[in-house]
Structure 1
């Protein structure tokens, strides 16, 4: 019997996704470049599931029913191109390749065009949920042609996470829409993670709370409006003690955060599309600066900060500040997705994106229900700010967020994500920005011209004699 679907790449995510598919009643063929990993997977993790191992590309492809449906779970970049190159000689017109990795959307667009010339269908599919989600139900964001999606829709719906609103999978849109949405999902993830980390930093350094106390507060918050996967795991992390020392493990982890590129790509895309993603960009740079541990240690000994401590903050104020940061992080991401959809003709349904993020994915949270409500009220409310309910939400939390920002500043504790969210909000809600001076400066040194507020047209002034 031929396999219903095949999967290439048996790292942990690939293994878990295979088991998820097989446990939904499908027969899955698997292949990994390292044969030993395939053997270990079959021996150690496969029980009664219908999983067929293959040890050559030819055998793997031949084990699949037609039209063949192949999921790639390999590292983004050249490894994806290399694997496609190995598969192509054995594929036929109408076969389908699905890239389930975190590929850059431009690479996905290129591969779509290249494979279309060969008659091969292609989907770029964002997969969120980590190792646990891959096994028990991820959020799936496939993009490409509808014909390609139709071949695997039933399988994807079956393996996706489920909420009261249905499976957390939808046809996201044309071209590289799936990978673009997953990229921005990760940019939002960066912003929320950095915001939580900053609140944690203020609790331990500003309020002198223990890791255990912070864990209890995070647990309480996870039962309220901050209910989310990231808050849930943060509360668990705070209570995880190291077996060797008995100390909280988080206190023993080196403060050098790594990244795989999606946060950076989100920021680059925001710059290309002209969308102000203040906190997303700041969160990428926060990870970058964390990596300079030795330099930070050296400079910390040279600079003795003598600051005036501002009024302390309460736990409730910290909660409100973080809630506002969540809201504004989503705001930036959805705006970016909308602009990309318009520019690249993706045809993305933003309500569907928010719906499939409600389960399985890393940024799932209770707040998504509120955002869906705001967007349903007005499809043009892309920042979520053009609504009386949103205005009330923001105003109830803004004073707390500003106070938290000031408290951090008075302690010389960096809070780039929270400040980025505030600057995003303040910039969007300010009628008059100082860009008039910048335009005058540009015209002064480069004759770039400017517009006026009192009459139409484009103007230039000879600010100084040329001779």
Structure 2
């Protein structure tokens, strides 16, 4: 057992992420105390630390001993399953904690839960933070992107640990103070939403390469690897190149693993939350929503198989030079990805304004440059855009990004047109292009929609030539029944 007051920081929850982040902190010289609901995982973590030559990690087997082993004010990181397990763990630990102590939840949590937990701990004057962690198992061990939100004094207590254990880009750690409680969870949620969009766009590019161009896995892998040297350089492009060339070690027929994977996409909820929040904040996020819808459709495998026997695609498809397709595809993927980031950043800004978080979008881009799943070379340019203009309404209207999108739009349109004409689904490419076209359109047909709303519901509308709200009696061809207007539609 650890001596009383030994640990500088405690970590409770030793599944994959927890174990690796505990080893990360200990390998940076911090005195870490670990605990877990099942004691066997404590032993596993302690042994792994010893095997790696780490001498500053200690394991304990009970919540009481865990809290006692930490120096005051105590700092505890939770990495347990979101929801009720977090509440149960907080209740266990808070029984032994005192005023001025800090609990940091590092899970993927719905941000209102963090706000609620913070308020529930206020009577005991225990501080609470919600901290998004991105990077998966490798990131947790070697340096993730960390997104902490909560009381500033709590962040200051954690700052020496977070800045050393986060991913490092040059001399800059991929972490920052995100804002008050809820902000860190929200930024991580949106990060995951952008990730959904990015992954779907890459999948659609893969479908074009495979089904239209007819490339084999090795050639597709080579293209992604080449793209990773240019303006598409990113973690997801890099791993796609690796995935496509991986041979199946369970067979001896020279096949590839990716070709044996069932086309049903899993999810853990953060993409759904992002789309729900986009609706709540009235922020368009069509690329992310299209990615989520495609995951839902992928889950209906049996229905799709049955439908494929009845519903037919085009009998004739366009003939386009393969070199042109690949050149256009690279440009289209870049442009569509920028739209996905733009939507996510707009959502963070809206929530920040509503909740008075004062989130710095340039800092969001900076801390996403390393450790996290959506890290990409373009984040440097995104950060620069918000540093140059902190009031920037949308990433697409930064002069540099606007020029890039304008330059690539013809190729982007050709890819969408080719997919539609060929019967290849491209929901995220289409959604991004429609977002671009809608945002750049001075006059949308929403005037007709408003007229319809006023016609059937007297919802009123604004005029271009007068102030105030207006309503029109659109037709005299109606009668009232029980106070409800019934219109005469003729012999329809």
Distance 1:214 1:359 in 2: 25
Structure 1 residue 235 corresponds to structure 2 residue 227: no
Query: 1:338 maps to which residue?
Result: 349
SS in structure 2 at match of 1:123: strand
SS in structure 2 at match of 1:92: coil
The alpha-carbon deviation at position 376 of structure 1 amounts to 2.3
The alpha-carbon deviation at position 84 of structure 1 amounts to 0.6
Matched residues, number: 467
Structure 1 residue 251 corresponds to structure 2 residue 259: yes
Does the 8 A contact of 2:101 with 2:127 survive in 1? yes
SS in structure 2 at match of 1:314: helix
From 221, 225, 236, the equivalent of 1:219 is: 225
Distance 1:376 1:90 in 2: 44
Does the 8 A contact of 1:331 with 1:383 survive in 2? yes
Distance 1:295 1:25 in 2: 54
The alpha-carbon deviation at position 463 of structure 1 amounts to 2.1
Does the 8 A contact of 2:314 with 2:422 survive in 1? no
SS in structure 1 at match of 2:147: strand
Structure 1 residue 58 corresponds to structure 2 residue 64: yes
Distance 2:366 2:240 in 1: 23
Query: 2:370 maps to which residue?
Result: 359
Does the 8 A contact of 2:49 with 2:57 survive in 1? no
Does the 8 A contact of 2:12 with 2:80 survive in 1? yes
Does the 8 A contact of 1:99 with 1:123 survive in 2? yes
The alpha-carbon deviation at position 382 of structure 1 amounts to 3.0
Distance 1:248 1:413 in 2: 22
Query: 1:118 maps to which residue?
Result: 124
Query: 1:33 maps to which residue?
Result: 37
Does the 8 A contact of 2:198 with 2:337 survive in 1? yes
Structure 1 residue 190 corresponds to structure 2 residue 196: yes
Does the 8 A contact of 2:462 with 2:469 survive in 1? yes
Can you give the 5+ residue segments of structure 2 that lack an aligned partner in the other structure?
480-492
From 371, 381, 391, the equivalent of 1:370 is: 381
The alpha-carbon deviation at position 311 of structure 1 amounts to 4.6
Distance 1:46 1:421, change over 3 A: farther
Quick check: 111-120 or 186-195, which moved more? 111-120
From 73, 82, 103, the equivalent of 1:76 is: 82
Which digits, 9 at most, give the CA deviation of each residue in 1:416-462, with x for residues without a partner?
A: 11111111111100111111111111111111111111222211112
Distance 2:402 2:367 in 1: 25
Which digits, 9 at most, give the CA deviation of each residue in 1:9-65, with x for residues without a partner?
A: 111111110110000001111111111222223234543322111111111111111
SS in structure 2 at match of 1:376: helix
The alpha-carbon deviation at position 112 of structure 1 amounts to 1.2
Distance 2:156 2:319 in 1: 58
Query: 2:140 maps to which residue?
Result: 134
Does the 8 A contact of 1:67 with 1:94 survive in 2? yes
Query: 2:488 maps to which residue?
Result: none
Distance 2:223 2:396 in 1: 29
Distance 2:382 2:403 in 1: 14
Relative to the length of structure 2, the TM-score reads 0.93
Distance 1:78 1:417 in 2: 34
Does the 8 A contact of 2:335 with 2:409 survive in 1? yes
Query: 1:8 maps to which residue?
Result: 12
SS in structure 2 at match of 1:305: coil
Structure 1 residue 173 corresponds to structure 2 residue 174: no
The alpha-carbon deviation at position 377 of structure 1 amounts to 2.4
Does the 8 A contact of 1:279 with 1:421 survive in 2? yes
Which digits, 9 at most, give the CA deviation of each residue in 1:147-166, with x for residues without a partner?
A: 11111100111101101251
Structure 1 residue 384 corresponds to structure 2 residue 388: no
Relative to the length of structure 1, the TM-score reads 0.98
Query: 1:433 maps to which residue?
Result: 444
1:140-159 pair list within 5 angstroms: 140-159=146-165
SS in structure 1 at match of 2:202: helix
Query: 1:447 maps to which residue?
Result: 458
Query: 1:108 maps to which residue?
Result: 114
The alpha-carbon deviation at position 77 of structure 1 amounts to 1.1
RMSD, matched Cα: 1.2
Query: 2:307 maps to which residue?
Result: 299
